[in-house]
Structure 1
Amino acid sequence: MLRSLAEPEGYRLEALDGDIGHCHDFLFDDELWTLRYMVADTGGWLSGRKVLLSPVQLKAPDWERKRMPVDLTKAQIEQSPPLDVDAPVSRRYEQLYNEVHALPSYWLGSGLWGDFPIPASLTSTQDVRIEPEPTTSGATLDETGLAAGDDIHLRSVREVTGYSVVGASTEDEGAGVEKVGRVVDLIVNDDSWALRAFVVDTSRLPLSKKVLLPVDAVAEIDWVERQVVADVPADRIEEAPPFDPNEPINERLETVLYDVYGRPQPGG
């Protein structure tokens, strides 16, 4: 099912033995367009420390109660490697995380989740350790959390929200890009955790309109200029069918959008 990422923001997180804080953010792979982690704000429990939660560790949300069950105990969560919110998450950090939580590496394989079809199939290979075991010299973090050869592709959903969206200008040949609107939300498949679209607010007073921009129609995210660059004309984005966030997001609507943008419907 397709879901809005703005919806679960702020949801209370319930570990196996009590509340652990709330949903603060998500990290996504800007190369494969897939959510990799939820960022949990532990509030007063761990003095406001932020921790990552893999989708493997999350159960189906209780949408009515605005709560999300987590398949870990507080002690298991506390053993996660410290997260520096001001530094990018490195591959070395992910390796440490997987060691502590006994998870396979999603980046080993050809699919969105390596050799596994969906995150729910990434089962633990052993019981999660309560007391961390010594790691090898090759699996320790340096001061920045980075290792030589690290490829950083994990980005914050909160960071990209508010970015400008630009498309190719159609006014004059070679005129460059034209601003269409700004990112206000992202749409995700809650089974595969694959990102499907950006929600773009194209409002121009007195008009107000939101449209969906499929990730397949995104050429790049310019992190320096803080903008999402589409590879389709700006007027095509503006003329897309309006998106009503109060209506269910369904596959039929997605099919229409992919037809509008001339992209084949993805399978995941």
Structure 2
Amino acid sequence: MLLSLKDLKGFTLGATDGDIGEVIDFYFDDEAWVIRYFIVDTGTWLSRRRVLISPQAIASLDWRARRLSLAITQDQVKNSPEIDTDQPVSRQHEMQHLGYYGYPYYWGGAGLWPTGAYAGAGGFGLPGGESGSRQVEEESARAERALHEDDDPHLRSCEAVVGYHIKATDGDVGHVESFLINQDTWAIQYLVINTSNWWVGHHVLIAPEWVDDVRWFDKTLSVDLDCASIKSSPAYESTAQLNREREQHLYDHHGRSGYWVNEAFIERVET
């Protein structure tokens, strides 16, 4: 199932023993295009402190109640390492944060998440378990070698990227309005592009693998598609109407293979 990050903002996050706050933003990994953390405003409960919550903590999602239930306690959140979300999050801070919860590090591996961290459609593995601790130990040596990346952790705010201009191979075509997320893996599956400022158009979808370059300093994303193909791309209306048939039509329109083909191949290799 695909979820809109615009709709996920404002969701309540509940620990096993009480609520901890509301989602106000997300950090994504600009190399893998995966949501790595929810940025949560804890309100008066923790003097409006903002905390990071990994998708690995999610136990269940209740769309109607606009609620994400977590497999951690309020005390775990309260005593977690403090991170200034207004500043770039270093790899050192990530190691402290993930190590505190007993999660394996996500970098340095071949998949979107470490082996065993992802538990399938039902969510991620629970923190603090025996397998999580063992994976932390196994990953620690690799993570230490990655410390040179401290100054460039590849984490970006989704909220900050909203509004970025999209440059096709032959001109401007629109701007980023939202993101669609794969609920099973928390990968960014599509960028929702608003084309109305460039022509009397509509919303269209662009997959991250079609992005050639991101210019953070002037807030633009370059894609390897031309204006005509984007302009004639199937219109996007809502996640409720976006089924596999419509996705196939989108990929066929651009002459690309669907992401689900690669996922099926990886699954066969791993089994």
Q: CA deviation at 1:51?
A: 0.7
Gaps of at least 5 residues in structure 1 are 129-138, 140-146, 170-177
Residues 89-108 of structure 1: pairs in structure 2 closer than 5 A? 89-108=89-108
Distance 1:236 1:71 in 2: 44
Provide the residue aligned with 1:86 in structure 2. 86
* Partner deviation per Cα, 1:89-133 (whole Å, 9 max, x = no partner): 1211111012210111122421111334736454435489xxxxx
* TM-score (normalizing by structure 2): 0.83
Are residue 161 (structure 1) and residue 162 (structure 2) matched? yes
Are residue 227 (structure 1) and residue 227 (structure 2) matched? no
Q: Indicate conservation of the 8 Å contact 1:199/1:211, yes or no.
A: yes
Are residue 179 (structure 1) and residue 172 (structure 2) matched? yes
Gaps of at least 5 residues in structure 2 are 133-142, 264-271
Distance 1:123 1:9 in 2: 23
Provide the residue aligned with 1:3 in structure 2. 3
SS at the partner of 1:75? helix
Residues 7-156 of structure 1: pairs in structure 2 closer than 5 A? 7-116=7-116, 118=118, 120-126=123-129, 148-150=148-150, 151-156=152-157
2:254 to 248, 257, 261: 261
2:195 to 185, 202, 212: 202
Distance 2:107 2:21 in 1: 28
1:248 to 232, 235, 241: 241
* TM-score (normalizing by structure 1): 0.84
Q: Indicate conservation of the 8 Å contact 1:216/1:263, yes or no.
A: no
Q: CA deviation at 1:204?
A: 4.1
SS at the partner of 1:7? helix
Letter in 1 for 2:39: V
* Partner deviation per Cα, 1:208-252 (whole Å, 9 max, x = no partner): 410001111111221111011111112211210110026333222
Label 1:257 to 1:116 Cα distance change in 2 as closer, same or farther (>3 A): farther
Equivalent residues, number: 245
Are residue 189 (structure 1) and residue 182 (structure 2) matched? yes
SS at the partner of 2:160? helix
Distance 1:204 1:125 in 2: 49
* Partner deviation per Cα, 1:123-160 (whole Å, 9 max, x = no partner): 435489xxxxxxxxxx9xxxxxxx64323211111010
Letter in 1 for 2:210: A
Are residue 216 (structure 1) and residue 209 (structure 2) matched? yes
Distance 2:80 2:254 in 1: 42
Distance 1:148 1:165 in 2: 32
Q: CA deviation at 1:7?
A: 1.1
More helix by share: 2
Label 1:14 to 1:257 Cα distance change in 2 as closer, same or farther (>3 A): same
